[in-house]
Structure 1
Amino acid sequence: MKQLKKPTRKQKSEISRQKLKPNSWFVERDDGQLMVIVSKEKGQVRRLRWGA
């Protein structure tokens, strides 16, 4: 697993578009098409497509 980071403003808006709370997630990886986020509480991993 890579270094987990707090989401940027642009990433937060994309996370909230997916009906998730952006403050509850860390960003593991983001390449512009796919963003991998990890839950702060449970460690659950989700993969989000940008613009999907």
Structure 2
Amino acid sequence: MSVPEVRKLLARLVWAFAPLAKQVLAWSVWRRRHQHRARDCHYKKREAKPPD
């Protein structure tokens, strides 16, 4: 998890009118999944191998 992601998660969980923790955590899962797909597409488009 990145620092901005942790910051956003904490802000949403602590804020007085924050959505449910379940919704915030679902967003986090979606974001990490999206980043993984974007990374894969980035390397596939360039026909390169991702670093280990």
TM-score (norm 1): 0.27
Bigger RCO (CA 8 Å, 6+ sep): 1
Task: Find the structure with the greater CA-based Rg.
Answer: 2
Q: Larger helix proportion, structure 1 or 2?
A: 2
Q: Larger strand proportion, structure 1 or 2?
A: 1
TM-score (norm 2): 0.27
